[in-house]
Amino acid sequence: MNVSAAEPVVPELKPGTAAKAVRDVLVVTRRNVVRMVRIPEVLILGLVQPVVFVLLFAYLFAGSFGLPGAEGPEAYREFMMPGFFAQTIAFATASNSSVGMATDVQSGMVDRFRSLPVARGALLTGRTVADLVQNSAVVMVMVLCGLLVGWRVHNGLLRALAAFALLLLMGYALSWVGVLVGLSVRAPEAAATGNFLWLFPLTFLSNAFVAPSTLPTVLRWAAEWNPLSATVQAARQLFGNPGLSATGAWPAQHPVLVSVVWSVVIAVVCRALAVRRYRTAGS
Nearest to 268 by CA among 165, 128, 136, 150: 128
Q: Are 165 and 138 in contact (CB under 8 A)?
A: no
pLDDT band for position 82 (cuts 50, 70, 90): very high
pLDDT, position 112: 84
CA dist 26 and 126 (Å) reads 6
Q: Is the pLDDT of residue 3 over 60?
A: no
Nearest to 182 by CA among 97, 69, 73: 97
AA identity, residue 77: R
pLDDT tens digits, one per residue of 215-240? 888 888 988 899 999 999 999 999 99
CA dist 89 and 164 (Å) reads 11
pTM of the model: 0.86
Nearest to 62 by CA among 149, 175, 128: 149
Q: Can you count the helices (H) and strands (E) in the chain?
A: 11, 0
CA dist 173 and 101 (Å) reads 15
Over residues 51-73, mean pLDDT: 69
pLDDT tens digits, one per residue of 13-57? 444 577 888 888 888 899 888 888 787 777 777 778 788 888 887
Instruction: Identify which has the larger pLDDT, 270 or 251.
Output: 270
